[in-house]
Each structure stands twice: as C-alpha cells, then as structure tokens.
Homo-oligomer: A and B are copies of this chain.
Amino acid sequence: MRNSKNFYPDWINAPPKPGTYRSIFKWGDPDGFKHPNRRLYEMMKERFQMTDSDFYERKKEGNKQVFLNQPVKLSGDQINRLFDFVGKENVSFDDYSRVKYANGKTAQEVMDLRNGICKDVPDLVMHPRSKEDVQKIVKYCNKQQIPIYVYGGGSCVNFGFKAVKGGVTLVMNTHMNRVLEFNETNQTITVEPGMLGPDYEKTLNKAPGLFNARRRYTGGHFPQSFEYSSVGGWIVTLGSGQESSYYGDMYDIVLSQEYVTPAGTFKTLDYPGTATGPKVNDIMKGSEGSYGILVSVTCKIFRYMPENRQRFAFIFPSWEDTVDAAREISQGEFGMPSVFRISDPEETDVALKLYGIEGTVIDRIMNYRGYKPMKRCLFIGHSEGEKAFAKSVKKKVKKICSSRGAMYITGYPAKKWEHVRYTDPYMREDFNDFGIMIDTLESAVTWDNLHNLHQGVRSFIKGRSNTICMTHGSHFYPQGTNLYFIFIAKMDDIKEYKEFQEGIIEQIVKHGGSLSHHHGVGRMFAPWMENHLGKVQMDVLRSLKNHFDPNNIMNPGGTLGLDITDDEKRFVR
C-alpha cells in the first residue's frame, strides 16, 4: 500500500504479548482497539505537517519483556510475615507485577515504558482479601515502617501508583470487589473499593434479579475511564463522571466510607445530613491513600430509567454564545442535563470532521445560516430522571439555546458521542506508535473567569506550531464549570513533552484555574499544591497526615504535595 494514494497506516491490531511493556501501558481490553479513521489520519498529516512516510514504521512499541534490575529490599522475615497475612498465592514480586502495579496511564508513564524505563516500583505486590487483611498489613507495615501504596483500577493519570519509597502495593480489584450491602429503602449500596465501574453499574442495573429489588438502579458515575477504574479510586481521587451535572461528582455521591489507617479503623456516619461537627467523611474524600486505605464505601444510587433519556445537540454561532447558554441552563433552576458538553471552535471543527459532517449538506446549511468554521461551537447533551422531568429539561434547554442563536441539530451527535464515550483512549497507542503525543489537562473555573482561562491556556498551547488544542466545557455547576484541554502534537521526546506539559499547568494556575477538577493531584500536581492552597491550608492537610500516619508509610513520596521539599515546590506569580 506504500506510496499509494490510499495509504493507511498499519495500526497494531493484535493484543500485546504477555509480559511486555506494551501489555502494561496499552489502554483497556488487550483485545480492544480503536484506530484513527481515515479522516482523522488525513487531518493529522495536515495539522502536524506529516506525510504518509512518517507512518511507515512504528517506533518504540514496547514489545520487550519487562526487565527490572532492582532487588527486593524487604528482609526475608518481613516477606514471610506479609505472606502470612494474605496467603502466599496473593503476593508476587516478579518484575512484571512490580512494574505493572506501579504505573498508571499518564503520557509520561507510557513514554517511559515504551523506552523500557521504570523506576519507583514496590518490593512486593499484595492482593488483600478483606478488611482484616488490610488491617494486619497496615498494622505491621506501620511498625516496620514499610511504605504502602494502593492500586485500584489502574487508570490513574497523576503518578498516583509510583512506589517511590518501595515497600508494598496493595491491589484492591483482585479480591476486594464485592457487594457488602444493598439497601433499596435508602437507595444505597455498600461495596468494597476494588469493584470496577462496569461491575458496579451492572450490579445496580440488575438489582431486581440480584437483590429482589423492585427497580433497576444506576450509580450515575461514568468517567471516561469507567471500564478500568474502581469505585474506591473514584472517591479517593474525587472523580467526576460524564453525567456529573445531573448525578453529582463522586464527592456528592459517597454517603459514607470505612478506612484502615495507622491511627485506627473507622466507618463514617451514614446519615443523610447531620450537624455534628466537621464531617470525617469529607476529610477522607480526595485523600488519595495518604491518610489510610479505603476498605468499604456506601454510595447513593439512582433509579435506572434509560427509557427516559432525552438527547439533544446544537450548533452555536460563537463560543461566547455557547458559554452564555450553558450558564443560563446551569442557573435556570429547572433541573440539569446529565451529559452536558460544549466544545470550543477547534474541538467543534475536529468533531465535525470526525463525524463526517464536514462537506455534507448539513455543513452547507450551517455555513449558509452563518455558523462558520472555527467560530461555530457544538453542544451535546442528555437529560435523565423521571420522564416528564427529562422532557421538560430538554424543552427548556432548546429554548435557551435557540434564544442564543443556536441551531438544533437533533439528538444524533449525542448518540454518536455515546458510542465513543469510553473508547477514544484506545487511539492513543496508535498516535504514540508514530510519535504523536496526545494528552489532556482539566481545570475548574468560575463563570467570570472562563474566557480568561480558556484564552490563556489556549494561546500557550497554540504558541507551539502544529499543535492541536481542543477544549470543552463539561461538568456544570451554577457557579461555573470544568474546562478540559486536549492537546495533540508530533512529539516523542520525554523532556520536551514534560516541559510543554508543565508550561500548560503554569498557564492554568496563572489564569486562575483550579489545579485539577477531577483528575486528582497525585505526584503530578504536587509541586503546585502549596501555591494552590496556600501554606496555612497545606499545613491543615499535613497535620491530618501526621495524625493518621505519623510514620509516613501511606502512599509516601509526594502525593498531594504533603511530603515534598521546598525546592520541589513550584510557585506561580
């Protein structure tokens, strides 16, 4: 096919070989693939000034077997004790396990693994079977000052799994993935933290068969990482799902939690509301394993009524009009859409290309009616809930959009988006195979600062030639939203990537965005945390750390910026 007009890259279509680096960094199902379609391929060549020849050979595929030249530093005595706690069959210290469970899905980790680089691995990987196992491990490791890291579903994008001080990593999704209680009267479910998204959702959808429930339920939490993230991970990193505008962030969905910490085991209260002082439940949300280990969680659940879903999509004449409409919807007090997503002109442009709308009759109508490329913006959404409610939300959304000059373009784009909502990350491997970097950063912002943040970050990214910057607003609140920046460029040098990415973070902070809306902090944002919170508030988090974990064995080495040195801190002026 080479040199022909119809050249199309030879994307990898086979699962990675077991034991390879690629089998660790590849997204999702080993047998799952989603390749850039021909339109996207053509666009990449155009935008990155590449030619077919750049796609003849794949680079650094990571097909080597994982090899680690790093001895286990625990003593034989310690290892034997740890064996005793969970059974020998639930402990491993082969190179592959140590590397696998120390890596999440950041662009940098993927680049490193492609180069066979992996530091910061645990000495031992353990698969606890129960709260009691975790209690034994924490008690012993605290005495022995052995660091403990926790691995949930594996989709972390902030170096949360890096076992920078060695020690043990606990994998929660192997055994601790069970339902502990289903309570239909209170509309709650209690599960172990290692349960993955699809299992959680299926359990709730099938409640009538499983628990003799009168209805079907949903968890209402659907992050892009849904298929490979865990309920516990959602909570300890403060995740938000794609339908959070209606169902709430995990912060809102969690009713109570049970933790094992060096300072003791406790379960927070599960009243629907109390006025009995600062809520320990809140204190633990977002603690990212640095205060203790989540061993069970009670979540609010919702009625599963997909038959009531109302889809809609609009094209707006400008980004300003789109944002105005989104704000009016968020503050309008008629109920919120669940999926609620506005794309800036560049993202709209790419989306229309990928969906095959560019050049069609619809495109001509849009142009004729004044919705010009690189001005026009796409808004897609759903409403959920009770039937009349969902309908009335859609009706009201249509009215508001229309009053801001938008054209209704049916529910089709929303439906189209639904099909790819979890699969887009699969394309990253294809991009990377040919030296193209794709990454994202996101930031919460109040309405009055939205354009400033958008422009500031965007002009930095666009300041680099041949770089795509797509932005969407998602996760809406009456007071603001989240801006999600996707940047794509031909770039395979780790150092260059790291500098570029840090530059974007700097711009986010400089323009008043929050350091993270739903990706957590981990070790990636840690250097900016003191700048973000101020020293007095950082001291509050540190004092809690010191209370729960005086020996600093819980996820030590940077997480949340709790134990980094002054030299490592980054301040933005």
Q: Select the stretch in A60-68, A128-136, A332-340, A464-472 that faces chain B.
A: A332-340
CB-CB under 8 A from A448, the residues of chain B are 183, 185-186
A446 at the binding interface (Cβ < 8 Å):
yes
CB-CB under 8 A from A359, the residues of chain B are none
A263 at the binding interface (Cβ < 8 Å):
yes
Q: Determine which of B251, B268, B271, B537 lies in contact with A280 in the assembled complex, contact meaning CB atoms within 8 Å.
A: B537
CB-CB under 8 A from A287, the residues of chain B are 277-278
A517 at the binding interface (Cβ < 8 Å):
yes
A to B CB contacts below 8 Å, 9 in the list:
A185-B446, A188-B479, A275-B516, A277-B286, A278-B282, A539-B547, A543-B546, A543-B547, A544-B544
Structural contact, A276 and B521, CB atoms closer than 8 A = yes
**In the docked arrangement, what's the CA distance between A253 and B25, Å?**
42
Q: Give the Cβ gap from A157 to chain B, nearest Cβ, in Å.
A: 11
A284 at the binding interface (Cβ < 8 Å):
yes
Structural contact, A478 and B445, CB atoms closer than 8 A = no
CB-CB under 8 A from A479, the residues of chain B are 186-188, 255, 270, 272, 300
Structural contact, B282 and A518, CB atoms closer than 8 A = no
Q: Determine which of B333, B445, B475, B560 lies in contact with A386 in the assembled complex, contact meaning CB atoms within 8 Å.
A: B333
A353 at the binding interface (Cβ < 8 Å):
no
A482 at the binding interface (Cβ < 8 Å):
yes
- Known A-B contacts A186-B446, A388-B396, A478-B187; A277 and B288 likewise in contact (beta carbons under 8 Å): yes
- Cβ proximity bits A235-273 to B, threshold 8 Å, 1 near / 0 not: 001111000000001010001000000011110111111
Q: Select the stretch in A33-41, A198-206, A527-535 that faces chain B.
A: A527-535
Q: Give the Cβ gap from A233 to chain B, nearest Cβ, in Å.
A: 12
A274 at the binding interface (Cβ < 8 Å):
yes
Structural contact, B264 and A536, CB atoms closer than 8 A = yes
- Cβ proximity bits A414-431 to B, threshold 8 Å, 1 near / 0 not: 000000000000000000
- Known A-B contacts A333-B389, A389-B335; A544 and B447 likewise in contact (beta carbons under 8 Å): no
Determine how many copies of this chain the complex contains. Answer: 2
A515 at the binding interface (Cβ < 8 Å):
yes
Complex: chain B residue closest to A475, CB-CB: B273
- Known A-B contacts A187-B479, A265-B536, A479-B188; A270 and B333 likewise in contact (beta carbons under 8 Å): no
Interface residues of A (CB under 8 A from B): 183, 185-188, 237-240, 249, 251, 255, 263-266, 268-280, 282-288, 291, 300, 302-303, 305, 327, 331-335, 384-386, 388-389, 392, 396, 444-448, 475, 477-482, 514-521, 525, 529, 532-537, 539-541, 543-544, 546-548, 560
Q: Give the Cβ gap from A305 to chain B, nearest Cβ, in Å.
A: 8
CB-CB under 8 A from A529, the residues of chain B are 276-277
Structural contact, A286 and B280, CB atoms closer than 8 A = no
Q: Give the Cβ gap from A479 to chain B, nearest Cβ, in Å.
A: 4
CB-CB under 8 A from A303, the residues of chain B are 331-333
Structural contact, B480 and A276, CB atoms closer than 8 A = no
Q: Give the Cβ gap from A550 to chain B, nearest Cβ, in Å.
A: 10
Q: Determine which of B187, B385, B477 lies in contact with A272 in the assembled complex, contact meaning CB atoms within 8 Å.
A: B477
**In the docked arrangement, what's the CA distance between A519 and B274, Å?**
9
CB-CB under 8 A from A541, the residues of chain B are 277-278, 280
Q: Determine which of B270, B517, B544 lies in contact with A446 in the assembled complex, contact meaning CB atoms within 8 Å.
A: B270
**In the docked arrangement, what's the CA distance between A149 and B234, Å?**
40
Q: Give the Cβ gap from A547 to chain B, nearest Cβ, in Å.
A: 4
Q: Give the Cβ gap from A511 to chain B, nearest Cβ, in Å.
A: 13
CB-CB under 8 A from A291, the residues of chain B are 278
Q: Give the Cβ gap from A510 to chain B, nearest Cβ, in Å.
A: 15
Q: Determine which of B278, B334, B535 lies in contact with A284 in the assembled complex, contact meaning CB atoms within 8 Å.
A: B278
Structural contact, B536 and A271, CB atoms closer than 8 A = no
CB-CB under 8 A from A535, the residues of chain B are 264
Q: Determine which of B305, B385, B543 lies in contact with A544 in the assembled complex, contact meaning CB atoms within 8 Å.
A: B543
CB-CB under 8 A from A249, the residues of chain B are 273
**In the docked arrangement, what's the CA distance between A269 and B536, Å?**
13
**In the docked arrangement, what's the CA distance between A127 and B300, Å?**
44
Q: Determine which of B183, B264, B279, B334 lies in contact with A282 in the assembled complex, contact meaning CB atoms within 8 Å.
A: B279
- Known A-B contacts A187-B478, A333-B386, A334-B388; A285 and B274 likewise in contact (beta carbons under 8 Å): no
Q: Give the Cβ gap from A339 to chain B, nearest Cβ, in Å.
A: 16
Structural contact, B278 and A386, CB atoms closer than 8 A = no
Structural contact, A263 and B536, CB atoms closer than 8 A = yes
CB-CB under 8 A from A302, the residues of chain B are 333, 478
Q: Give the Cβ gap from A303 to chain B, nearest Cβ, in Å.
A: 6
CB-CB under 8 A from A388, the residues of chain B are 334, 392, 396
Structural contact, A276 and B514, CB atoms closer than 8 A = yes
Q: Determine which of B271, B331, B514, B548 lies in contact with A444 in the assembled complex, contact meaning CB atoms within 8 Å.
A: B271
